[in-house]
Amino acid sequence: MRNRQNQKNWTNLRGLLSVEEREKLENLRLELVCMQAANSIPHDPPEISSLETELICLTTNTKDCKPVRFHSDLLLKKHKYNEIKKIFKEILENIEAYRDEFTKNQTKINLLLADDARASLRNRSLDFSDLMPSSIIKDVQVLANMEANVVVMKNALKTKLVGEKSVPVASSPISSIIPRTSRNKKTSPSNYHHSVLSHRKSNEWNQVSSTEYKRTLLLNIKYNDDFKATIVPSFESCLCSRSYFLRVKLHFDKGVGSAEIDIPVQVKNSFI
């Protein structure tokens, strides 16, 4: 229940969004490429036995504002994120070692100051903060001690593989399904681009060369109404931030294995 004032406010807010920002993510198009091994006899590519979709929730915490905005992929992959922290921990150790040595030789340094250096300091003694300001040291500390927490929400989404006949080729199906009012959330792809191969048939492997096959999957995605957790919209602030990914897992039959892809999405409060 919203009064007229809030309804008018919501209409104004919706008007601020661009046309593409108003779109809701309902269908996801995946393109698979299968390369046949050169040392194998020709055979058909494997079929998909099952498909899973998970919502990955990434929360970062820092003790101050980060000097650099981070790409979500750098924080999701643990080895990349640990590598960045390791680099800045080493820098921090270097700075502390230099500061100790500077403190030890501070009297000697100030005796060696020439006249032009002394004038630039306005006859003040040279401090370590003149060469390495404390704000930069604090920025290094922030990057060395930031934390990223990854939570996998397995049951947050419902995914259905759209069949061939229900979706015409080269069209962009837009579903009229409106999510529940209490959700007020929208997922939209931010870095995902794809092209429609109009001459290909959907949901089947198409041979494009003697050893290469391609396949296009169309996934219909919506929120699971039975999911009880609260999905907070994506945001960035000085001390913490929240990002989301759509993880699609494909399992193949014949013991081939599985494939996995993480697609960054944004959760927004754009729909009533």
Residues in 154-213 at the binding interface with other proteins, rule: CB under 8 A: 184, 186, 190-191
Distance (Å, rounded) from C-alpha 53 to C-alpha 187?
A: 14
Residue 69 binds other proteins, judged by CB under 8 A: yes
Give the H or E element holding residue 119. Answer: helix 115-120
**Looking at 19, 40, 42, 116, which residue binds other proteins (CB under 8 A)?**
116
Give the H or E element holding residue 263. Answer: strand 257-268
CA distance between the termini of the chain: 11
**Looking at 30, 32, 48, 153, which residue binds other proteins (CB under 8 A)?**
153
Please report how close the Cβ of residue 175 comes to other proteins at its closest, in angstroms: 19
Footprint on residues 79-98 left by other proteins (CB under 8 A): 80, 83-84, 87, 90-91, 93-95, 97-98
Q: Is the Cβ of residue 83 or residue 253 nearer to other proteins in the bound state?
A: 83
Please report how close the Cβ of residue 37 comes to other proteins at its closest, in angstroms: 19
Query: Residue 266 in contact with residue 58, Cβ under 8 Å?
Result: no
Please report how close the Cβ of residue 240 comes to other proteins at its closest, in angstroms: 4
Please report how close the Cβ of residue 22 comes to other proteins at its closest, in angstroms: 10
Give 255's DSSP letter: T
Those residues with Cβ within 8 angstroms of residue 144's Cβ, 6 or more apart along the chain or in another chain: 85, 88, 89, 91, 92
Please report how close the Cβ of residue 257 comes to other proteins at its closest, in angstroms: 19
Footprint on residues 228-267 left by other proteins (CB under 8 A): 228-233, 235-240, 242-243, 264, 266
Please report how close the Cβ of residue 68 comes to other proteins at its closest, in angstroms: 4
Residue 51 binds other proteins, judged by CB under 8 A: no
Stretch that binds other proteins, among 24-32, 126-134, 170-178, 211-219 (CB under 8 A): 126-134
Tokens of 64: 């101050």
The site that binds other proteins (CB under 8 A) totals a number of residues, namely: 93
Distance (Å, rounded) from C-alpha 215 to C-alpha 202?
A: 7
Give the H or E element holding residue 78. Answer: helix 78-104
Question: Count of CB atoms within 10 A of residue 265's CB?
Answer: 24
Q: Is the Cβ of residue 116 or residue 176 nearer to other proteins in the bound state?
A: 116
Distance (Å, rounded) from C-alpha 54 to C-alpha 230?
A: 15
